[in-house]
């Protein structure tokens, strides 16, 4: 969904879900990448796309450009959390 960290609905979801994109970035000593720019081709300035998870672990998350779009893709590598299939 499209929301910044400050949106109340995002904060509410984080009570039950993990922000896998942010956690994967932190493990690598990075900040999660921005996914939206004001026009196609413009620099990405906000992170409004997320990988919210519950029973899977985000091993890695990458922001990938999509030509002609104001959004970038969020490509995530997932694995089951221990105890989940």
Extents of the domains making up the chain: 8-80
DSSP letter at 40? T
Q: Is residue 22 predicted with pLDDT exceeding 90?
A: yes
pLDDT confidence band for 82 (50 / 70 / 90): confident
Distance CA 55, CA 69 (A): 31
**pLDDT per position as a tens digit, 39-64:** 998 999 999 999 999 999 999 999 99
Q: Is residue 85 predicted with pLDDT exceeding 90?
A: no
Distance CA 69, CA 28 (A): 27
């Amino acid at each position: 969904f499209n929301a910044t960290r400050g949106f109340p609905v995002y904060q509410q979801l984080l009570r039950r879900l993990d922000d896998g994109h942010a956690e994967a970035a932190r493990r690598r000593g990075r900040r999660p990448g921005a996914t939206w720019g004001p026009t196609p081709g413009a620099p990405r300035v906000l992170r409004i796309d997320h990988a919210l998870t519950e029973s899977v672990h985000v091993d890695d998350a990458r922001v990938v450009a999509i030509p002609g779009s104001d959004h970038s893709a969020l490509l995530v590598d997932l694995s089951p959390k221990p105890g989940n299939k």
